[in-house]
Amino acid sequence: MIFLAVTLGAGQVDSASAQSSGAPSSGGADAKAASATQPKDAPAAPAAAAPAAGAAKGGATANTFNRLMKPKSERNPIQAADGIHDPDNPGTSQLQPPKEAFTALSTSNAGNYVNWVQSLKNNNITPRYDRLDPNAEPLILELDIVREVKGSMPDVVYPHDRHTAWLDCSNCHPDIFIPEKGKNTISMAQILMGQKCGVCHGKVAFPVSECRLCHSKPKTPAAPAKK
């Protein structure tokens, strides 16, 4: 520190004498080092961030992205108010309101309050498996996949039969799930943000609040330690 102070002092003297004589400064790097130690004006405080558009207008917040977790009174609205259909399209008002269409279906305690799997088993609905062929039959795959879960939650069982009764394989593979063991990392955060299982669940299938419908396989108790 003492050597630095002496060096800076010499630089300042040389620079001052050069200016008084009109000659070029011989301080060079020392003068620059001295000026670098001079305090600078503090940067201006950043302007306050403008409020988010949604907050300013009283609109939706970030916690309303999962539409099947809305209050019961707001679920199954008419198509003109569901945020999906175009309310200005004259044909929208001609569609059957969901609450009327769901009356005869098996009920559940979450989502849109319809147990779609049970309704299909009871023949309350007969989905068309091919848009152009009303006689097409589904290719139902009898395969359960168990995904081990860390922690105390039961493991996840993915039943292919309940899904392939509705969907063709290409709905999920390979864009959403790669059909190869070990290639798919799935987290609850991804599902909540509409990825992986959340592409359907929370939108048109039961929401993530129904934990036990997926986490349905109890963990195998650990063997007692040998003494």
Identify the pLDDT of residue 57.
Answer: 47
Angstrom distance (rounded) from CA 189 to CA 130 = 33
Angstrom distance (rounded) from CA 174 to CA 180 = 9
pLDDT tens-place string over residues 64-102: 555 555 677 778 899 999 888 999 999 999 999 999 999
C-alpha separations of 76 from 15, 34, 195 in Å: 80, 72, 23
Identify the pLDDT of residue 112.
Answer: 86
pLDDT tens-place string over residues 173-216: 999 999 999 999 999 999 999 999 999 998 888 989 899 999 99
Domains of the chain: 95-126 (no CATH), 144-217 (3.90.10.10)
